Amino acid sequence: MSQHFVTRGKVKIAYDRRGDGPPVVLVQGLGMNGGMWLALAGGLVKSGFKVVVPDNRGTGASDAPRPPYRMRELADDLAAVLEDSGVGPALVVGISLGGMIAQHLALRHPAQVGGMVLAATTCGPPVGNLPRVGFIPLMLRSLLGDRRALRPLRLWLVHERSLERNPEIFAAWDREARRQPTPWSGLMGQLAAAAGHSTGFQLGRIRCPVEVIAGSDDRIIPPESARILARRIPGAHLTVVPDAGHAFPLEAPRALPEAIGRVQARITELQSARAGTV
């Protein structure tokens, strides 16, 4: 991928872009840079998509200003990336915090969003719930180098059987995290943004094709949050990945590409229908 930068105020946001075809934007979760999508971006390029992968404010090669951050800032950062890359309207794929950002993007900048895959995420209170916070102390201890926190943290992220079957399931994530560690300012800023997330009463305004997808055993954002999103967003489809947790893309690598393909098919169908009425 080729790295690009766009500046909002005094904050520089990094993103990578490659491929040709229908545009897909991949938005990562709390404290995770865009490289932690691992092989997904390359696989989508091979499938004929143009792929844009931002480093959210506070992660990767993007700036990490002092906290707190706000969801509207993260959404506006993403809108600036889409405008700078010239790919909108795009199919926006957001996981966890990234799914929250995607919701705010669709509400604040609807012309930039052609469709969405909302993965392992929530609309927030009072309609939905915030993520369970029990994993945060483990995450902080892990970042401080306490290896005793690693296994319990992993069990918050994936199904226990997945970790037993593949003890190295997080190896590529770990390598990427070591390559570009997230600064404390970025992590705390994103946590503050997540704490203020609330879209439940506005979701009826979303009119693009949407698939909501979650692991059946997600301990951080339980699948009931996905069901609420799917009920609230007009025409949204719901997929629950069996025997998988919050980090279900590691456990079921085909689940997200298949969801992206289904949403892209709906986008293409809508585009054809509109062209036929002109």
Q: Give the range of the structural domain holding residue 210, as residue numbers without chain letter.
A: 2-277
Strand partners, 211: 117, 237
Residue 41 to residue 19: CA distance in whole angstroms: 10
Does 278 score more than 70 pLDDT? no
Domain count for the chain, please give it.
1
Top pLDDT among 134 and 126 is at: 126
Cis preceding-peptide flag for 183 (omega within 30 of 0): no
How does pLDDT run across 186-242, given as a tens digit for each residue?
A: 999 999 999 999 999 999 999 999 999 999 999 999 999 999 999 999 999 999 999
Tell me, what CATH number does 50's domain have? 3.40.50.1820
For residues 134-160, give the mean pLDDT: 86
What φ, ψ does residue 267 adopt, rounded to 5°? -60, -45
Question: Cα-flanking dihedrals φ and ψ of residue 235, to 5°?
Answer: 75, 5
- Is-above-0.75 flag for pTM? yes
Is residue 219 within 8 A of residue 159, CB to CB? The reply is no
Residue 178 has a pLDDT of 87
- With CA atoms as reference, report the closest residue to 232 among 90, 103, 102: 103
Across-strand partners of 7?
12
Say how far apart CA 106 and CA 110 lie, in whole Å.
5
Q: Residue 95 and residue 101: Cα distance in Å, rounded?
A: 9
Q: Average pLDDT, whole number, for the chain? A: 94
143 has a pLDDT exceeding 80: no
Average pLDDT over residues 114-127: 97
pLDDT at residue 96 in the model: 97
pLDDT at 275: 81
